[in-house]
Amino acid sequence: MDNGEIKGETGTKEYHVLSLSGGKDSTALAFFIRDNMPEVHEQIEYVFCDTEHELPETYEYLDKIEVFLDKPIERLKPYKSFEHLLEMHNYLPSPHRRWCTIELKTKPFRKYVYDKFSKNGEGVINLYIGIRSDEMSRAAFNKYGDNYIQEVYPFVDSGINKKDVMDILEKSGIGLPDYYSWIDRSGCYFCFFKSKMKWINLYENHPDLYEKAIKLESSKIKDGGFGWNIDFTLKDMIKPENAKKIRENYEKLQAKRAEKRALNMPENSLFEYDSGFEENKCLFCHI
Does residue 86 carry a pLDDT above 70?
yes
Instruction: Give 161's contacts (C-beta < 8 A, 6+ positions apart).
Output: 132, 133, 134
Helix (H, G, I), strand (E, B) or coil at 90: coil
Is 147 or 173 the better-scoring residue by pLDDT? 173
Residue 21: which of 219, 203, 215, 177 has the closest Cα?
177
Report the pLDDT value the prediction gives residue 281, as an integer from 0 to 100: 52
Q: Given pLDDT bands bounded at 50, 70 and 90, which one contains residue 115? A: confident
pLDDT at residue number 220? 86
User: If residue 241 lies in a helix (H) or strand (E), which one and from where to where?
Assistant: helix 240-262
Angle, vertex CA 244, rays to CA 238 and CA 248, nearest 5: 130
* pLDDT of amino acid 184: 87
Q: What would the pLDDT profile of 244-266 be if each residue is shown by its tens digit?
A: 999 999 999 989 888 888 887 65
pLDDT value for 7: 45
Q: Which of 28, 69, 7 is nearest to 177 (CA)?
A: 28
pLDDT tens profile 177-196: 999 999 988 889 999 999 99
Confidence of residue 113 (pLDDT cuts 50, 70, 90): confident
Residues 206-244 have pLDDT tens digits of: 999 999 999 999 988 866 668 999 999 999 999 999 999
Cα–Cα distance for residue pair 22/51, rounded to 1 Å: 12
Which range among 13-22, 100-109, 133-142, 264-273 shows the weakest confidence by mean pLDDT?
264-273
Q: Residue 68: its pLDDT value, please?
A: 97
Percent of the chain with pLDDT strictly greater than 70: 80
Q: Of 243, 242, 272, which is closest to residue 260 (Cα–Cα)?
A: 272
Pick from 104-108, 123-127, 147-151 the range whose average pLDDT is largest: 104-108
Decide if 108 contacts 138 (C-beta within 8 A): no
Q: Which domains does the chain have, with CATH numbers?
A: 5-181 (3.40.50.620), 196-286 (no CATH)
**Cα–Cα distance, 43 to 26 (Å, whole number):** 17
Query: Is the pLDDT at 273 greater than 90, yes or no?
Result: no
119 or 40: which leads in pLDDT: 40
